């Protein structure tokens, strides 16, 4: 039996779907096992958006879904939020099956999507929240105070009575988040919530998500943004071709490709840089001001490189660990602009 805690790294080996997990520490907030979703097409083979995807998210965890467009992130969010039925497999939210007990699931979740849609733009922010709150069956008195609280908390109080069509993209996103929270959702699905936001607004938005994490809400965050995933998530899952290829905490992802990605040393002269670039296994040598970065293909290439550096009298160097983005590119593959 696998015991999962928030900090544990219990992940599927590279390329192998995560097996069904048993929990001793409470019901997982989200559990998906062998989820398959096919979209039928006329006179063509169906498109398989999910191909046996398995994933487990513990209560109170912020879990990132990373993957390119078409990887299946949104399809997974749709299934978990009961908007879409899986073709096969099973998914539960707080122990409720999304197919058989969809109504129970809908009582517990909030869905926040990126972009301009999903709001009544001719209504004010306050009216939107009151409407969605009523639909979430929030009692009237609670709804009034919660609406005020959320407007205040998300920095929308000053424009609460302005029509949403006059809001900036960042304000709309904050209103989306407020809408997702108006029912006091225990599990939040955020689908690219900072899409199209300027960096300052996105940073503020992330701060809000961080606060929600502190409140022990479970958050499933589908994103392309590595900084976002790195700063917010307890764990991230890399999704490719409708399946989870790996899950780790952002700090442990480096282990998925190699412990060390390269070396950094005080600026090498041009001759040494040229020599280093010729070493088998070295993929790039870049000099930026006072430092030179050498990236290698695998750890096996290090001994030869280290010998060469020692021969040239280099005694001070640092190891480079791969960033989340580096891991993403290695796991998902550099597809360029291909979709």
Partner 1 sequence: MNLLLIIRRAFWLGARDYTAIFTWKTWLTNWFVRVVAQVSFFALIGRMLGDPGQTQFLLVGNAVLLAAMVGMYAVNMVSWERNAGTLPLLAAGPTHPAVVLTARGSYLILDGTLSASGALLVTAHLFGMPLPWPRAAIVIALIAVVAASAYCFGILAGSLLLGFRSIQTIVTNVGLVTLMTLCGVNVPLDFYPEPMRWVASVLPLTNGLVAVRLAVTGQWQAALFPAAWEALVGIGWLTLCLLMVTALVRRGRRHGTLDYAS
Q: Kindly list the residues in this chain that would bind partner 1 in the complex (CB under 8 A).
A: 37, 39-40, 74-75, 78, 81-85, 103, 106-107, 109, 111, 113, 115-123, 127, 130-132, 134-137, 140, 163, 179, 183
| Among candidate residues 32, 84, 69, the one with its CA nearest the CA of residue 224 | 69
| CB closer to partner 1, 12 vs 83 | 83
Find the shortest distance in angstroms from Cβ 127 to partner 1: 6
Find the shortest distance in angstroms from Cβ 112 to partner 1: 10
Find the shortest distance in angstroms from Cβ 191 to partner 1: 9
3-class DSSP string for the chain: CCCCCCCCCCCCCCCCCCCCCCCCCCCCCEEEEEEEEEEEECCEEEEEEEEEEEEEECCCCEEEEECCCCCCHHHHHHHHCCCCCCCEEEEEECCEECCCCHHHHHHHEEEEECCCCCCCCCCEHHHHHHHHHHHCCCCHHHHHHHHHHHHHHCCCHHHCCCEHHHCCHHHHHHHHHHHHHCCCCCEEEEECCCCCCCHHHHHHHHHHHHHHHHCCCEEEEEECCHHHHHHHCCEEEEEECCEEEEEECCCCCHHHHCCCCEEEEECCCHHHHHHHHHCCCEEEEEEECCEEEEEECCHHHHHHHHHHHHHCCCCCEEEECCCHHHHHHHHHCCCCCCC
Find the shortest distance in angstroms from Cβ 254 to partner 1: 33
| CB closer to partner 1, 112 vs 268 | 112
Find the shortest distance in angstroms from Cβ 248 to partner 1: 28
| CB closer to partner 1, 113 vs 268 | 113
Q: How far is Cα 200 from Cα 183, in angstroms, rounded to an integer?
A: 27
Find the shortest distance in angstroms from Cβ 119 to partner 1: 7
| CB closer to partner 1, 191 vs 326 | 191
Find the shortest distance in angstroms from Cβ 317 to partner 1: 47
Find the shortest distance in angstroms from Cβ 237 to partner 1: 20
| CB closer to partner 1, 4 vs 181 | 181
Q: How far is Cα 136 from Cα 182, in angstroms, rounded to an integer?
A: 8
| CB closer to partner 1, 179 vs 240 | 179
């Amino acid at each position: 039996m696998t015991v999962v805690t928030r900090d544990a790294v219990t992940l599927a080996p590279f390329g192998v779907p995560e097996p069904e997990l048993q929990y001793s520490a409470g019901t997982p907030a989200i559990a998906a096992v062998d989820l398959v979703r096919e979209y039928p097409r006329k006179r063509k083979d169906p498109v398989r958006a999910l191909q046996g995807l398995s994933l487990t998210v513990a209560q109170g965890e912020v879990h990132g879904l990373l993957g390119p467009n078409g990887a299946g992130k949104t399809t997974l969010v749709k299934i978990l939020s009961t908007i879409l039925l899986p073709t096969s497999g099973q998914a539960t939210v707080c122990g409720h099956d999304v197919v058989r007990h969809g109504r129970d699931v809908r009582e517990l979740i909030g869905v926040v999507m990126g972009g301009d849609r999903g709001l009544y733009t001719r209504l004010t922010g306050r009216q939107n929240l009151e409407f969605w709150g009523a639909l979430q069956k929030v009692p009237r008195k609670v709804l009034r105070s919660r609406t005020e609280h959320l407007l205040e908390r998300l920095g929308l109080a000053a424009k609460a009575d302005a029509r949403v069509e006059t809001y900036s993209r960042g304000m709309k996103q904050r209103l989306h988040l407020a809408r997702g929270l108006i029912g006091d959702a225990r599990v939040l699905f955020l689908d690219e919530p900072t899409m199209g936001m300027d960096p300052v607004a996105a940073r503020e938005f992330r701060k809000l998500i961080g606060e929600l994490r502190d409140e022990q809400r479970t958050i499933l965050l589908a994103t392309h943004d590595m900084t976002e995933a790195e700063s917010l998530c307890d764990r991230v899952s890399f999704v490719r071709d409708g399946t989870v290829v790996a899950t780790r905490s952002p700090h442990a992802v480096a282990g998925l490709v190699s412990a060390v990605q390269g070396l950094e040393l005080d600026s090498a002269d041009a001759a040494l840089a040229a020599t280093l670039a010729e070493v088998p296994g070295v993929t790039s040598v870049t000099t930026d001001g006072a430092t030179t970065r050498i990236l290698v293909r695998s750890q096996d290439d290090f001994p030869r490189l280290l010998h060469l550096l020692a021969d040239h009298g280099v005694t001070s160097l640092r190891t480079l660990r791969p960033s989340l983005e580096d891991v993403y590119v290695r796991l998902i593959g550099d597809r360029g602009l291909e979709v």
